Structure 1
Amino acid sequence: MKSTIYTRFVVIVAAGILVACSAASPDDKKAELTKLKQQQADIGKQILKLETEIAKANPDSVTVRAKEVNVTELAARKFDYFVQTQGSVDAEDNIQVSSKAMGVITAVFVKEGDAVSKGQTLAQIDNSVIQRNIEGMRSQLDLANTVFERQKNLWAQKIGTEVQYLQAKTNKESLEKQLESIQEQNSQTRITAPFSGTVDEVTAKIGQNIAPGMPAVRIVNTSNLKLKAKVSEAYVTEIKKGNKVVVSIPELKKEISATVTFVGKSIDPLSRTFPVEVKLPSEANLRPNMTGVIKVIFHTEPNAITVPVNVVQNINNEKVVFVYENDGKNAVARKKVVTVDGVYDNLAQVQGLKAGDKIISFGYQGLNDGQVIKTN
């Protein structure tokens, strides 16, 4: 019977070749070749099916060709459901320090790379006029204090009038407030560091006219970093503050474990995304604006059955995985219909298989249910 099948196959192929050769058009030859290849594949399947059926009915009548496969035994494992996106590193303390007053810069006390502390003077604006006003005001205040003390002593001895005493007191207090106001103006001529950090850029130059709002010095504190990213609105009910996160920084070739510290409440109408933030631990080589890949884990199955996603095949509108079984005489492939719960990291969590099942992880293409197999 096996010989008859092969004879028929040879006749069909030979006839096909004759027909193909007689065709005039190259396109017709290509179409005919495709048809013949399909017929060859179909016949091969029929041969394999008949061999398998004969082997089952009469094992000694035919030697069945076994297909070589690799198998993998399944075990329950932890399986993370996550969303992955790209973000960038940002510093909580990363600002351009500007002046509070208008004037000409007379001194710059820092350069790029300098470490500065909170309140340290970075640059000085010309304050010569204010200094002269302060000196004049102090002279007036000294006189006012002297007059006040004398009026106070005279009033204590009931000499003079209360009005004179009150006028001297009011004049002294008024000059004190004016001096305090001028000293406040003088303090605004100093550009100071709002927090401790490192000078990243100095744009202020001696002789430059500067006004409030103009950048003078950039200070960065890299001990307080975060990663900002955008996540699709499809996960708006899944992502929550406190979710575990794995951040991968390609430039550093390392992964950082963290948690979600902020989840935005609004959806961007253009990108249909919402913002998330992750506080990063202090790392010496982390820099603002570095790119990072963020993986937010929003659900974990502690004992999931997973298979490589590529072994799940669509056959007759069913999700199918082939497993290794032994029917007592031969190792055969058995078709198992499964349900896919989720696909993450090229793994699929499935229902319909159990721990201990041996799935066919290589050579599964083109297998038939009950086909004889052998493992490498």
Structure 2
Amino acid sequence: MPSTIRRRVPNALLDGSRPTAPSHIDGSATRRMAIVLVTLLGLTHSNPAVAQIEGFTEPHATIDLAATENGVVASILVKEGETVSKGQLLATLDTDVLETTLEVARAQMHSTGKIDAAQADWRSWQSKLDKLRELRTKGHASQTELERAEADCAIAKARLEMAREDQAISALDYKRIEAQLERRRIRSPIDGIVLKVFKDAGEAILPTSPNVLTLVELDPLRARFSVPTPQAASLRPGSSVLVRFPETGRQAIGAVEFVSPVTDAKSGTVPVAVVLPNEHGKYRSGVRCVLEVPPPAGAGGSTSENSANRATAPQKTDGPPGPNRKDNHV
């Protein structure tokens, strides 16, 4: 989308009004957000050359959830537009055969008959070997008989170890089937919203159409802009910027997520992405927004002059995503 640059001074600063912050905000979060907002608005007020770049919002993430195995959809547990949390079960494939196989593996895993029989056999041969050794010392048993008993005892012990190994393999087989069952359960990898459901219960999952549903992450929200190269020079990843929504009159403080190192040769602009807090979905994805970009250094006044021009933060302003996001309403 081509970028447009306009110049504007906030009305709240022109008419001298001083909106106050809501009383429920306090502490260091209020002071930090007030400093960021006052600085940004001070730059706009003291320097009318602040660039206003039009852009649009989009989901922070869009995920097409696909089944990892072929089969028939057993159930769809969500609807389009429903809010889901990370790890929530969204859909399942048919699991009848695997569940039966799992029961067999569980029985084999807990079976101890082979181990008990092998252990009893080994103890019997060990007892015989001990008696033959005693008889051999007294000359009542031949060396051949002793060696044969030693071999039989070793074989019995090996059979006991094999029984134990078989039980361990059964336990691993049980875990393998459990993993296969889990692969037939589709869970949400994010906290988001169901945008589209592609399958209904009873439909087949094929290699050509594995997608079951689409999720979007709207908190935080991402805004994309094409910023002219001179203005982009003042932006750094992690820095705070002011984003306005003309249609609703809202504004938010976001964090610069990405500044492309390459300027588009055709438009002379730099792709920039900004992350915005979007608790409770107050901002829509796909709408127009405006990024306030300070002028390049040396153009339109010094930083000290701008920071000296402080104003009270206007209402309807939200802070950048972070641990104190719930206190970022100024």
Letter in 1 for 2:96: S
Question: Which residue among 174, 180, 188 is the counterpart of 1:179?
Answer: 174
What is the rounded CA distance, in whole Å, between the counterparts of 1:147 and 1:265 in structure 2? 67
Identity score, percent: 25
What is the rounded CA distance, in whole Å, between the counterparts of 2:264 and 2:222 in structure 1? 21
Q: Is the 8 A contact 1:80 1:297 kept in 2?
A: no
Question: Which structure dedicates a bigger proportion of its chain to strand?
Answer: 1
RMSD: 2.8
Q: Is the 8 A contact 2:231 2:293 kept in 1?
A: no
Equivalences for residues 91-130 of structure 1 within 5 A: 91-130=59-98
Change (3 A) 1:256 1:171: same
What is the rounded CA distance, in whole Å, between the counterparts of 1:207 and 1:114 in structure 2? 21
Change (3 A) 1:112 1:236: closer
Equivalences for residues 279-318 of structure 1 within 5 A: 279-283=275-279, 284-298=281-295, 299=297, 301=302, 303=305
Corresponding position: 1:141 with 2:141: no
Corresponding position: 1:167 with 2:134: no
Shift of 1:127: 1.6
Letter in 1 for 2:273: E
Question: Which structure dedicates a bigger proportion of its chain to helix?
Answer: 2
Shift of 1:223: 2.4
Question: Which residue among 181, 184, 188 is the counterpart of 1:193?
Answer: 188
Q: Is the 8 A contact 1:114 1:199 kept in 2?
A: yes
Q: Is the 8 A contact 1:244 1:297 kept in 2?
A: no
Change (3 A) 1:227 1:149: farther
| Aligned equivalent of 2:214 | 218
What is the rounded CA distance, in whole Å, between the counterparts of 1:156 and 1:132 in structure 2? 37
| Aligned equivalent of 2:311 | none
Cα deviation 1:20-59 (Å, max 9, x = unaligned): xxxxxxxxxxxxxxxxxxxxxxxxxxxxxxxxxxxxxxxx
| Aligned equivalent of 1:86 | 54
What is the rounded CA distance, in whole Å, between the counterparts of 2:250 and 2:238 in structure 1? 22
Change (3 A) 1:94 1:262: same
Q: Is the 8 A contact 1:100 1:211 kept in 2?
A: no
Letter in 1 for 2:118: Q
Change (3 A) 1:164 1:259: closer
Runs of at least 4 residues off by over 6 Å: none
Q: Is the 8 A contact 2:119 2:157 kept in 1?
A: no
Q: Is the 8 A contact 2:65 2:215 kept in 1?
A: yes
Q: Is the 8 A contact 1:123 1:190 kept in 2?
A: yes
Equivalences for residues 284-363 of structure 1 within 5 A: 284-298=281-295, 299=297, 301=302, 303=305
| Aligned equivalent of 1:266 | 262
What is the rounded CA distance, in whole Å, between the counterparts of 1:149 and 1:267 in structure 2? 75
| Aligned equivalent of 1:151 | 118
Change (3 A) 1:196 1:150: farther
What is the rounded CA distance, in whole Å, between the counterparts of 1:89 and 1:82 in structure 2? 21
Shift of 1:163: 0.9
Structure 2 unaligned residues grouped into runs of 5+: 1-44, 128-152, 307-330
Report the 3-state secondary structure (helix = DSSP H, G, I; strand = E; otherwise coil) of the residue aligned with 1:141: helix
Greater mean alpha carbon deviation, residues 100-109 or residues 110-119: 110-119
What is the rounded CA distance, in whole Å, between the counterparts of 1:87 and 1:222 in structure 2? 17
What is the rounded CA distance, in whole Å, between the counterparts of 1:280 and 1:105 in structure 2? 37
What is the rounded CA distance, in whole Å, between the counterparts of 2:166 and 2:71 in structure 1? 31
Change (3 A) 1:149 1:295: farther
Cα deviation 1:259-287 (Å, max 9, x = unaligned): 42321223345544322122212253212
Larger radius of gyration, structure 1 or 2?
A: 1
What is the rounded CA distance, in whole Å, between the counterparts of 1:254 and 1:200 in structure 2? 25
| Aligned equivalent of 2:317 | none
Report the 3-state secondary structure (helix = DSSP H, G, I; strand = E; otherwise coil) of the residue aligned with 1:179: helix
What is the rounded CA distance, in whole Å, between the counterparts of 1:214 and 1:135 in structure 2? 28
What is the rounded CA distance, in whole Å, between the counterparts of 1:295 and 1:163 in structure 2? 77
Report the 3-state secondary structure (helix = DSSP H, G, I; strand = E; otherwise coil) of the residue aligned with 2:72: strand
Question: TM-score if structure 2 supplies the norm length?
Answer: 0.60
